[in-house]
Structure 1
């Protein structure tokens, strides 16, 4: 078994489109913030809100966007300081074409979560994707970098895709390693 550095190098060679060093052993658990903030709410109320969120997600997955929106609205009314409900509602609003409303909810989720933990990370990625679609690459990159710092492998992957030089470098490294492993193979 190799050292963590050896494993990271091998991972980079065989997974050139994934940021260097980003593999399961190095991903952080980002649930600490949510676990800490749960204690701020009554358990019964929190359970009710999480049930509404679950039903909202199920409705959205089955294409019932209006029902999903209603469930997330109910959750926000019951617990207006619960960032997750805003994050989920933002997804539904975006699917309905209300990008302004989605960004507003993502901003609220980020304010409530401090941009930390799983919800903060998801909100940063979602807002970063919206900003990319709007052509605001500088702001998108900032959100994705913050999400990557929080441990989002997906944000790291998007950042690589936005940086063609990093992807090219990883590809060249993979090709070089393949040639070392198969010295007699012909390649261009």
Structure 2
């Protein structure tokens, strides 16, 4: 099952003109924002590795790596988005 944060990120992508204040996500960062978190650099590196895995259609491994990137830095919005996209490619958008 997707997390509420995954759904909020996807909603923001699919409905960019809708307000985000009622999403229940809390603080939402845009990629242009500087994420001030000690794990952000490691999270970004893990995310890049996961993207390469996803491009090679190793989706289960990619999802695992995206989840690790989210664990390291839960403020990294692109990790949530990329994990949701990997689930979509795997035909399991309701997965967590």
Quick check: TM above 0.5?
Answer: yes
The equivalent of 1:89 in structure 2 is: 83
Long gaps (5+) in structure 1: 1-32, 106-188
Summarize deviations over 1:85-136 as a string: whole Å, max 9, x none.
10000111001111234xxx8xxxxxxxxxxxxxxxxxxxxxxxxxxxxxxx
State yes or no: 1:73 paired with 2:67: yes
The equivalent of 1:55 in structure 2 is: 49
Kindly name which structure, 1 or 2, has the bigger radius of gyration based on alpha carbons: 1
Q: How far off is 1:46 after superposition?
A: 1.4
Q: How far off is 1:36 after superposition?
A: 2.9
The equivalent of 2:31 in structure 1 is: 34
Query: RMSD value over aligned CA atoms?
Result: 1.7
Counterpart Cα distance in 1 of 2:88 and 2:31 = 24
TM-score normalised by length of structure 1: 0.33
State whether residues 69 and 79 of structure 2, in contact with CA within 8 Å, keep that contact through their aligned partners in structure 1.
yes
Aligned pairs for 1:143-182 within 5 A: none
TM-score normalised by length of structure 2: 0.62
State whether residues 31 and 77 of structure 2, in contact with CA within 8 Å, keep that contact through their aligned partners in structure 1.
no
State whether residues 37 and 75 of structure 2, in contact with CA within 8 Å, keep that contact through their aligned partners in structure 1.
no
Structure showing greater relative contact order (alpha-carbon pairs closer than 8 Å, 6 or more residues apart): 2
Secondary structure of the equivalent of 2:57?
coil
State whether residues 67 and 83 of structure 2, in contact with CA within 8 Å, keep that contact through their aligned partners in structure 1.
yes
